Amino acid sequence: MMFKRRSDFPSAGYLPLAIITVVVFLTTLATASTLILQGIIERWYHDVSGTWTIQVIPVLGDSPAETQQQIDSIMSFLTNTPGISVAQPLNPQQITQLLEPWLDSAELVSNIALPRLIDVVPHTDSLVDAENIILSLINLFPNIHLDDHKNWLNNIIQFGCNLDLFLISLLITIFTLIIIINVHVTRYKIATHRSVIEILHILGAKDDYIALQFAHESLMQGIHGGLLGLILALPVLILITGWLANPLEGDFWQTLQPIQMAMKLIFLPIGVALLAKVTTRMTVYKTLARTVSV
């Protein structure tokens, strides 16, 4: 065992350790899943919030060349506008290729007046300006439609807030549970070792001498149980992320920031261990002050 320190008390056995392992295992899974979800949401948010889509709906009767001309003038307007960093029209061939499998022939597709799409990425530091520019653009060309994905983003933000609340209440619940478990285990240990405590008192031990030994054992159980719970949760987490990564592909792992996530998760066993130590020490003080008369 690491940090093994001599104790005058027999070991409390493996039950408290097993309880902490299970609690930390489940909490790690719940916390990590929440963090992963938040990561995914953040990525969506980032992908979507920075871009607007301008739909150019061809005016009835206009030839493709006329539509293209309108697109060109919108493009030159956008590229000459400060506050807009990228304005990328989706080329008509691309749209046709996308739709071809459903509409059988490319010829047929080219006959349909498809809306043309322009992806716009405004500078993040001049959002309001960019918004004004686009609005004035809409005034100039009534046949365009702006989609800034606001409804979609609001829902995502709301979901993200709910996740935060969930995570906070989960951690509060877990830490309360750890406190309750520790208070009871400590009281039980004090009751079991009454005679040892009495002898130590007679030999001149202060309550602190006893409390520190109990607290150290709790700390060790917290560290060992916590790390064990964390380590056991890792393979399960890798499975979950693998399963999530499949449909999301690409730079998913990078988005997750596994290092940052690990740094957050390691606080769980550390927090549990420190909480166990403090709770145990206080419980010993209180219980001895209440139950020992001489």
Partner 1 sequence: MSQASSNIVRFESVSLQYGHEPEILRNITFSIAAGSFAFLTGRSGSGKSSLLRLIYLAQRPSQGFVSLFGENISFIERQALPAIRRRLGVVFQDFRLLDHLSTLDNVAIPLRIAGVREEEVRKHVPELLAWIGLARFLHAKPSTLSCGQKQRMAIARAVISRPDLLLADEPTGSVDSCVARRVFHLFIELHKIGTTIIIATHNECLARQFNFPRMHLEGGRLLLLDTQKT
Residues lying near partner 1 in the complex (CB under 8 A) are found at 6, 8-10, 195-196, 198-206, 209, 289, 292-294
Least gap, CB of 175 to partner 1 (angstroms): 31
**Nearest distance, CB of residue 197 and partner 1, angstroms:** 11
Burial of 83: CB neighbours in 10 Å, binned 0-12, 13-18, 19+:
middle
When the beta carbons of 209 and 253 are compared against partner 1, the nearer one is 209
Sign of CA dihedral 271, 28, 233, 37: negative
User: Closer CB to partner 1, residue 99 or residue 205?
Assistant: 205
Q: Do 7 and 217 meet the contact criterion of CB atoms below 8 Å apart?
A: yes
C-alpha 67/C-alpha 59 separation (Å) is: 8
> CB-wise, 2 or 289, nearer to partner 1?
289
Q: How many CB atoms lie within 10 A of CB 96?
A: 17
Residue among 212 and 274 whose Cβ is closer to partner 1? 212
CB of 204 to partner 1, least distance (A): 4
What is the smallest separation between the CB atom of 273 and partner 1, expressed in angstroms?
Answer: 24
* Pair of tokens at residue 286: 């209180």
Token digits for 208?
């602190």
The residue among 175 and 285 lying less far from partner 1, judged by its C-beta, is 285
User: 88: phi > 0 → left, psi -120 to 50 → alpha, else beta; which?
Assistant: beta
CB-nearer residue toward partner 1: 200 or 228: 200
Nearest distance from residue 157's CB to partner 1, in Å? 56
Helices 258-291 & 207-248, crossing angle to 10 degrees? Answer: 150
Q: Which amino acid is at 86?
A: V
Cα torsion through 32, 33, 35, 38, rounded to 10: 170
Of 181 and 196, the one with the shorter C-beta distance to partner 1 is 196
Q: Which residues pair with 87 in a beta bridge?
A: 120
- Shortest CB 195 distance to partner 1, Å: 8
Distance CA 109, CA 85 (A): 31
Let me know: does 12 contact 189? Beta carbons within 8 Å.
yes
User: Shortest Cβ distance from residue 34 to partner 1 (Å)?
Assistant: 44
